[in-house]
Each structure stands twice: as C-alpha cells, then as structure tokens.
Amino acid sequence: MFKPVTNGLAFSTFPNLESALVPPRSDLIAAALLGLGGGLRSFAPPVALAIHDRGPLAGPARFIAFGAAGGELIADKLPNMGSRWAPRGLTLRLGFSSTGGRELGGWPGAGIAAAAALASAFAGSRLRVKVRGRAAQLAAASAEDALSYGLVLAAVRRSSGRLDDH
C-alpha cells in the first residue's frame, strides 16, 4: 500500500487523511481488473460502470455506451478490422480504462487501469495473430469478448464504491 513520506504529524493531526488519499487495496485491484478487460475491448469499462449506474455514462446516457459496445463487438469479428495498436484503438482503450480506473480507485486507480489495459492489449494482440483460420479467429474473438466483459463486470462489483461522490 502506498504510504506518503511524512513525519507522521499530518496523519496524527488528521486521522482520516490517509484513508482519503489512499484508496482501499480492493479498489485498486478492481481498477486493475477493469483495465485488463478494457485493454481487450475498448467499450467494456464504460458499459460495466453504466450497468451499475456509475461513471460519466450513467443514467439514460448508458445507451450510448451499450450501442458503441455492440458496434465494437460486431466490428471486431470482421476480417478487415484495424489493429488495436492503431492510435484510435489504443487511445480508446487507455482513455476508457483510465477513466473507469479513476472511478473505482481514484487517481492511483487510473494509472493502474491504464497500465493493465496496455498490458492486456499487447497480450491480446499477440495471441490473436497466432490464431489461424476464420472459424478459430471467430472463436478466439468471442472468448476475448467473454473474458473482457467478465473482468470489467467483476471489477465494478468488487469495488467499494467509496469514490462515487468524487
């Protein structure tokens, strides 16, 4: 757990300061899970947050996330889909993952989620190029969909929600 370097005066004077600055470990783990899922599917983090009525696309705006995610799930199965390493794909993965990580674990969560998204985007990309044959590629893409959404939904369920009011 992150501990700021102090002489202890701040935490003894303001006993709740540490808990206000350092998110619970479970929220940081949730941010990492969300980032792992977001690295595989760009729109998975906003969908998971919207399902739980959290994040910038909560409420009626959740249908924006749902529609975009549906389009991504379909487009990913097309043989001419661009690389997830293209600027547009990587920007969306990192942006949505870090935004979701911030929602779950504050600024430390944003950084953790972005790093996790980068790692899973790399791993997913490396694994997908090894799959040969159209049927196997469709199966791999569907398995990646399930893994991505499983991770982000578990992440949002796991988080304490302590940062919802920020």
Is the residue at 12 inside a domain? no
Structure tokens at 78: 């097309």
Q: Which domain holds residue 154?
A: 23-158
Is the residue at 1 inside a domain? no
Q: Are 116 and 97 a contacting pair, CB within 8 Å?
A: yes
Structure tokens at 157: 């369920």
Q: Which residues contact 52 (CB under 8 A, 6 or more apart)?
A: 156, 157
Q: Which residues contact 159 (CB under 8 A, 6 or more apart)?
A: 26, 27, 30, 31, 104, 105
pLDDT tens digits along 47-100: 999 999 998 888 999 999 999 999 999 998 887 887 788 888 899 999 999 999
Q: Which residues contact 111 (CB under 8 A, 6 or more apart)?
A: 98, 101
pLDDT category of residue 1 using cuts at 50, 70 and 90? very low
Is the residue at 9 inside a domain? no
Mean pLDDT (whole number) for 135-157? 94
Can you give the pLDDT at residue 12?
Answer: 57
Is the residue at 17 inside a domain? no
Count of structural domains within the chain: 1
CA distance 152 to 49: 8
Res. 33: pLDDT tops 50:
yes
Structure tokens at 93: 């993965």
Is the residue at 90 inside a domain? yes
Can you give the pLDDT at residue 14?
Answer: 55
Is the residue at 104 inside a domain? yes
Is the residue at 138 inside a domain? yes
Mean pLDDT (whole number) for 21-41? 93
Can you give the pLDDT at residue 38?
Answer: 97
Can you give the pLDDT at residue 165?
Answer: 44
Tell me the backbone φ, ψ of residue 137, rounded to 5 degrees.
-65, -40
Number of helices (H), then strands (E), in the chain: 7, 0
Q: Are 117 and 125 a contacting pair, CB within 8 Å?
A: no
Nearest 5 degrees, angle CA 129-CA 134-CA 137? 45
Mean pLDDT (whole number) for 20-45? 92
Is the residue at 3 inside a domain? no
Mean pLDDT (whole number) for 126-149? 92
Can you give the pLDDT at residue 87?
Answer: 84
